[in-house]
Structure 1
């Protein structure tokens, strides 16, 4: 038996080695799109090649187990294969997925009247200039009239199982507003039920989620309008709602990836419109820079599963941006002005970058709009000041790592050479998780993922136990590094020493770079370099 197993292991290792080389050599070869979803099923050679590399070359990150290494390889492969299908197909797969709930968690579905979208839209109209709307490139204000009403869901810990106290007041309970991730074009709140259930159990909170409209059929600012509508629905519900009005000071907003970026965008909209802000926020791996400007976008390609150069799919009606309601031309309606010939230089095509002709990079927004602060909050003109306290969790090995670090330093006004500001800096607790990829908290229940959710729950309890005065007296910025074992250490001073003036100047220079095509070329070059390095490592 032992000798047979050894022969099998040897054969599998050789097979895996060959398969891994083949994957590298054919990584960029195009293939024709299949008609069914079989393209999402990963090939067996991938498993064998990953096992071979894990035991001969080691995992990409030192603490990764074989199981975790295989999972990341599978996710990377599935994302690559999904590009051979349509956007609509992947949306159906992720929106129709149903996650079971623990017996102690109750769920209740609700529908938000369209009035809340209208109220949210009126607020956003006042925050966006005429130039902003030209950059957005479509008449988003009419989109809400051509879609179904916004769907939401309550998750509550079933107190009745364990507590007979009928005097419990849910309106004073911490309320978590959750915004799901998925690059703004896939996903739904039901995918997060498991980890949200654990969070509300540990924090004695309840959770409200919405399935906001998805790009590319409903690009920016549709998702933000829905997120703001959800916030307004919580604090000022209709008489028919299943909940009493929630005091904003009892709300904490959270979300992962695009949902984390949407969380920060929502905070900006609340701040700039003068609404009462929530008590705090907890963005997980927030996507706050849709221009892919900072170093970790390229340096961490090998330790993350996000696609190297953005999300791509074969052509389908979803990618036909001409189907969007066209932007109204106010000048054309003004009959008092003389007619002018069509000027190609001022025509706005939302699928192209106005300056360099680059094809649309993100489904969520056209290239001209990527630097709008409500799209990429890292470009907020107030440097993210004046926001509620935030706990930001991010993996040290993920590609969006530097976005969280940059946002934390800007928000707290703690970056090198920061001038004094009349705006109140935002208090940030930044947690960097060693060797962890994008949104590791929801991938596998590893020790460090469990620890991260426990930290989220502890943060909820902490901010609700402290008075506003106590929160103001806490340190402006704290940075903790959490090892794979779960051990945490304060690394605030270490990171501040590492962030020199030259490094910060380089980061800001990257963000200020006007040519999006150069950024994308830089990412592609880094990807090619990593592929070449892997080929050399696996040569006999």
Structure 2
């Protein structure tokens, strides 16, 4: 029975351990061999001792058998539960398909340019995100399975890992404390009191994994006809010159609401970006909530950027260096959804938190940034969260950060803020937030703390007090997505604090916002859409603008997007 149930449970339920169960975890006395004094070796004449030893070993075998039986019973229960979940999941798919077909038959596709396939696909994703059996481990398991596909042809993937010394890494923050005094950044510490105990207990060193992606498509060669006599063939023309590749490196931060996702899951998409732009791509597997709440993802994103530009820094000791340092001006920071928000938070971190007492940047800013459907406002106050909820695949019930998105999934904002404590009672969370509260106002304490926390400039980067001095930025969003308005607000804020600033000389800061007709959240990853191809072509255009040192006129109107450029002199 165990040989049948083991693979079944481990295939669907990540909570079930796939490795051999350690029976000592069951609070069973240890085997006799571990408690005897090994310095007292039994002799041949010591018969009573040997007999007692054999008896105790026999008792140990009985204990192990009991542990195995208990483990089998737990395994059986887990397998039955997961089979029920799978059955419910199958019934949910039937209902999802039926309701989708009914909607199409009744009112047609939700948006004018959508075909039936896109309508049904978005309906399918939206429905499964709110399935009552959804849990973080299951979503991660399915994401891992989805990410098992290979990258596009001729894209080389090189996996790397590097060890981070957390104490050395955070010296940058300590040096920047003097600069932050009296500013909004000084009112928002990077480690809030709610998670201070968690960060105090963390180990000093930890290892991060990442990967490089590089397009190695061979240059086209001239073709000659070998079956004709040489005197009938004309001299072969020289092969065309190889396609010029930019010197820029794209540092990509994946999305996933800070709770799921990985570079491996994004390989198909980041591979497409590598092929389209010709630039090398560097990705890092930042730590996810709820196991690692804020600011774990931010610190890992910063560690990846520092490793990219200064691999010989003392914060990275113990592992061999895999690349030469990359000049910060040759780095383009890029991300989608939560990864776009994290990219923007990293820019704020470098610009507002990591400065010397005289105001100089401790770590230079990158040369540019590309944000795809960025999640920069975790307060969910944008009007598009209501007006576009019926179109986008993101669940519309996410607007209330104080309520779970489904039965088994707390709200991502609470997981990001409170970590694994997010599923604790409200009274417990209130104790984390305040030591002077009573039971009757615990809920208000939690709500007030969370609502204040989400306005942290490194959590919701749109609330940063100053965006002046940031590098050129390209923002892409769909006009049918729930994050539409916050992308527009970010472009407007960047424009007012950079493009029109009197110190903005020689086009150092400029922003271009592209709003794509009838498109949803992170449509750029939907490779079968023509609009996705146009969006990545515009990303390539932006990379070459950064490569050439200045903006070009807006791309031609293709009837797919509205381009709003804020560029001095253009």
TM-score, normalised to structure 2's length?
0.65
Partner of 1:266: 346
Which 5+ residue runs of structure 2 have no aligned equivalent? Answer: 1-80, 178-184, 222-238, 313-318, 355-360, 399-403, 423-429
Q: Cα offset for 1:397? A: 0.6
CA contact (8 A) 2:188 2:456 kept: no
Q: Cα offset for 1:312? A: 2.9
CA contact (8 A) 1:104 1:161 kept: no
Q: Which of 199, 205, 208 in structure 2 is aligned with 1:150? A: 208
Partner of 1:178: 252
Q: Which of 359, 376, 379 in structure 1 is aligned with 2:463? A: 379
Partner of 1:86: 135
Partner of 2:127: 77
- Alpha-carbon spacing, 1:403–1:369, altered in 2? closer, same or farther (3 Å): same
- Alpha-carbon spacing, 1:373–1:204, altered in 2? closer, same or farther (3 Å): same
Q: Cα offset for 1:51? A: 2.5
CA contact (8 A) 1:249 1:277 kept: yes
Partner of 1:114: 164
Which 5+ residue runs of structure 1 have no aligned equivalent? Answer: 1-31, 326-341, 494-540
RMSD (Å), alpha carbons? 4.0
- Alpha-carbon spacing, 1:401–1:114, altered in 2? closer, same or farther (3 Å): same
Q: Cα offset for 1:232? A: 0.3
CA contact (8 A) 1:87 1:313 kept: no
Please tell me whether residue 295 in structure 1 is matched to residue 383 in structure 2. yes
TM-score, normalised to structure 1's length?
0.69
Q: Which of 263, 266, 275 in structure 2 is aligned with 1:201? A: 275
Q: Which of 248, 254, 279 in structure 1 is aligned with 2:334? A: 254
- Secondary structure at 1:100's aligned position in 2? coil
Within 2, Cα distance between the matches of 1:451 and 1:353?
52
Partner of 2:294: 220
- Alpha-carbon spacing, 1:481–1:213, altered in 2? closer, same or farther (3 Å): farther
Write out aligned runs for 1:14-413 (5 A): 36-37=85-86, 39-41=88-90, 42-81=92-131, 83-95=132-144, 97-115=147-165, 117-124=166-173, 126=176, 129=186, 132=189, 133-134=191-192, 137-139=195-197, 141-142=199-200, 145=203, 149-158=207-216, 173-238=247-312, 240-272=320-352, 273=354, 274=361, 275-310=363-398, 312-314=405-407, 346-347=434-435, 356-357=444-445, 366-382=450-466, 384-413=467-496
Q: Cα offset for 1:60? A: 1.6
Q: Cα offset for 1:394? A: 0.3
Please tell me whether residue 440 in structure 1 is matched to residue 523 in structure 2. yes
- Alpha-carbon spacing, 1:80–1:344, altered in 2? closer, same or farther (3 Å): closer
Within 2, Cα distance between the matches of 1:429 and 1:49?
39
Q: Cα offset for 1:152? A: 0.3
Q: Cα offset for 1:234? A: 0.5
Higher RCO (CA-CA < 8 Å; seq separation 6+):
1
Within 1, Cα distance between the matches of 2:342 and 2:256?
11
Within 2, Cα distance between the matches of 1:257 and 1:270?
20
- When structure 1 is superposed on structure 2, of 212-221 and 99-108 the one drifting more is 99-108
Q: Cα offset for 1:89? A: 2.7
Rg larger in structure: 2
CA contact (8 A) 1:179 1:259 kept: yes
Within 2, Cα distance between the matches of 1:442 and 1:291?
25
Within 1, Cα distance between the matches of 2:128 and 2:157?
31
